[in-house]
Amino acid sequence: MAIFTGAGVALITPMNQDGSLNYEEMQKIIENQIENKTDAIIVCGTTGEASTMSHEEHIETIRQCVSMVKGRIPVVAGTGSNCTETAVYLSQEAKKCGADGLLLVSPYYNKATQNGLKAHFTSVAKAVDLPIILYNIQGRTGVNIAPKTIASLVKDVDNIVAVKEASGNISQVAEILALCDGNIDVYSGNDDQIVPIVALGGKGVISVLSHVIPKETHDMVALMMEGKVKEAAALQLKYLPLIKALFSEVNPIPVKAAMNMLGFNAGSLRLPLTEMEAANQELLKKEMNAVGLKTV
């Protein structure tokens, strides 16, 4: 059974002026997401700036998120690391916090071989009895999780059940689904590929776009699941300019700017991420206004 079907938001981590984490604002964002039909919360991923959190902050953010959601929708905790021992530790702590599943990014910087990836993911999976979503994003990690590697892991490791595919390669997505023969759930890791990936048999998206239009992103997947391809495709195409603007700089720079424009107190970013350039902010605001979003 899938951890979730639909649109899961890759949650930002709001911050105060001094750089500390703003859990009060995170509660407001989570409530807004749930009210607008978001199907899951993915906390402490790339968009959540987990890479600049201390271990203590990382674990506390997962704990706070689980407490705020109160079981209404699944919470998936990002616990990946380029250090296997760290990934095991964070995964075990996420389990203690009450997370419903884990998101494990492939080890970055190390650039492990495919055998190394198998050993890494297997070690983490065996250390914790939660369902695991692999996260394949070569553009950030420097290594692609090959379809054959994913198929091998799904076959050999019971709790590796899904993959967030952000390679941008639709052919690779098709190969994963073919090799796994229905035994894997695939989530789009790119907001501009929701419809084509669900059309191939995917379960939905782990989304940045959901921050600003949660209901519409949910609806895009729901329409596909109902076989209403034309209507879903119309939404996908309508929001392409907004999606492009949300990725005009490194994620999560634009989406934090967007949330601030919508009146949320998303705050700033931790270095090495910096504030969005003025010209890109204007473009983002223009595209948000074009789809009926009111900005401040």
239 is catalytic: no
Taking the CB of residue 284, how many other CB atoms lie within 10 A of it? 25
**Secondary structure of the chain: what % helix, strand, coil (to 5)?**
50, 15, 35
List, for the chain, all residue ranges whose pLDDT scores fall below the cut of 50.
none
The fold of the 6-228 domain, in CATH, is TIM Barrel (3.20.20)
pLDDT of residue 1: 65
Predicted TM-score (pTM) above 0.85: yes
Catalytic residue among 95, 135, 203, 256: 135
pLDDT of residue 2: 84
Residues 6+ apart with CB under 8 A from 296: 261, 262, 263
Taking the CB of residue 205, how many other CB atoms lie within 10 A of it? 29
Taking the CB of residue 292, how many other CB atoms lie within 10 A of it? 7
pLDDT of residue 188: 98
135 is catalytic: yes
Catalytic residue among 95, 118, 164, 256: 164
Q: What is the pLDDT of residues 72-94, one digit of tens each?
A: 999 999 999 999 999 999 999 99
pLDDT of residue 220: 98
Q: How far apart are CA 9 and CA 31, in angstroms?
A: 12
Q: What percent of the chain has a predicted confidence (pLDDT) above 90? A: 98
